[in-house]
Amino acid sequence: MFRPRILAFLAIFRPVKVCNSSRMHYDVMIGAFLKRTFRSYSIVKPGYVKEMRTVPEHINSPVYYKTGKPPKSSKEIEIKTKEQIEKMRAAGQLARFILDEVGIKIRVGMTTDKIDEIVHNMAIEHGAYPSPLNYEGFPKSVCTSVNNVACHGIPDDRPLQDGDIINVDVTVYLNGYHGDCSSTFLIGDVDIEGIKLVNATYEALEAAMSICRPGEYFYSIGDVVEEVAKLRNYTVVPAYTGHGIGSYFHGPPDIIHCYNEYPGQMKPGMTFTIEPILSQGTGETVVLEDGWTGVTTDNSRTAQWEQTVLITESGFEVLTQ
Ligand code: MF3
Ligand code: CO
Ligand code: CO
C-alpha cells in the first residue's frame, strides 16, 4: 500500500495508548526531536572574577603562592621512589575526593566562583594547597571550563545554566606532591549531542590509559586519542597536553593527545597526567585577554577528562581513582 513518507514520520507523534515501557520510548523520541530542533547551548563569555583567596600559614604552600613563579623542573623524566609514590597516591586521592564532592553539589544556578570556594575550602580543610592558585598568576583555586571554553576557565559570577557542560579541573598540593584530575559534568538537561561529546572524551581517556605500560611510547597516547575522536566524529584539541607531575605541577614528559613523534618510552615509577580535550567543531583555540581562558575559535563545545597515572611493572595505576 502506498504510504507517503511524511505520514509515516508523523505517525511517531500520534498520541496512542501505550504500556509503560514503550511510553518511555515515545517520550524519549519526542524529547530528542524537540531538543535537536530547538535546544542549543550558551556561548560563554568571561564574567567578573573576585579577588584571590588566601591560604592559612599552617598549610605547606608551593613557592609560587607568593611569587607566582613555579621553580624550573628538571629536563629528565623523574622515576619516583616508593616513598614518593605513596605521597602521589595521597595527593591523587584527595584531588579525587574533592572532585567527587563538587560532582555531588554542582547544580543549575551555582556560580563557578562557588565551585572555587568549595574546592579551596576542602583542600585547606584536608591540609592541602589548591595548586592552581597563583600558579603562573592564575587567580583562582580551580579551573572551570563551560561549553565553548576548552580549558583553563577562571571561576567567575556566571551561574550554571540548564544544559551546560562544565569541566572542573582539581589539583591539590599535599605533603609536597601534586595530584591532578578533571571531569566534565552535565548540568540539568543536556542535549544528546552534548552527552555524546562528553562520553566520547571519557572513552578517549580510558582507551589512552589502557595502553600504558613499561616500554610503550608516549606518542601512542596521541594515536589512541585520535582514533577514538575519529571514530566518534570529533576533533582533538592539540594545544593542551598532559604532563609529568610530582613535587612539580608540570614537568616532563609532555603527553600529546594528537598524532605526534614525541620521543621516549614509559618506565615503571613515572607519573604523568592524560587529559584529552575533544571538540564538536574545530580543534583550534585562542586564549582570551585574561591570559588563561582558552576558547574554540568557532565557539564549538569541548569536553575534557583527566587522570594522573603511575607506570607500574605490569601496566599502570590510576593515582586519582
Ligand atoms: N590542572 C591543569 C592541568 O591539568 C592546570 C591548571 S594550571 C592553572 O594541567 F594555572 F590554570 F591552574
Ligand atoms: Co588538571
Ligand atoms: Co593536568
CATH number, position 95: 3.90.230.10
Residue 312 counted as domain residue: yes
Give the ligand 1 atom nearest the CA of 131.
12
Residues 101 and 10: their CA atoms lie apart, in Å, by: 45
* Radius of gyration for the alpha carbons in the chain, expressed in angstroms and rounded: 21
| Residues within 5 Å of ion ligand 3, judged at the Cβ atom | 180, 273
Residue 151 counted as domain residue: yes
pLDDT in tens, 36-54: 444 689 999 999 999 999 9
pLDDT at 69 over 60: yes
Give the ligand 1 atom nearest the CA of 273.
4
Residues 23 and 69: their CA atoms lie apart, in Å, by: 59
Residue 166 counted as domain residue: yes
Residues with CB under 6 Å of ligand 1 are 132, 135-136, 138, 143, 152, 169, 171, 180, 243, 273, 275, 292, 306
| Separation of CA 38 and ligand 2 centre (Å) | 34
pLDDT in tens, 103-145: 999 999 999 999 999 999 999 999 999 999 999 999 999 999 9
Residue 120 counted as domain residue: yes
Residue 65 counted as domain residue: no
Residue 43 counted as domain residue: no
Domain that holds residue 171: 8-36+79-318
pTM of the model: 0.89
Residue 227 counted as domain residue: yes
Residue 95 counted as domain residue: yes
Q: Count how many domains the chain has.
A: 1
Going 104 to 296 to 253 to 233, the CA torsion angle's sign is positive
| Separation of CA 115 and ligand 2 centre (Å) | 15
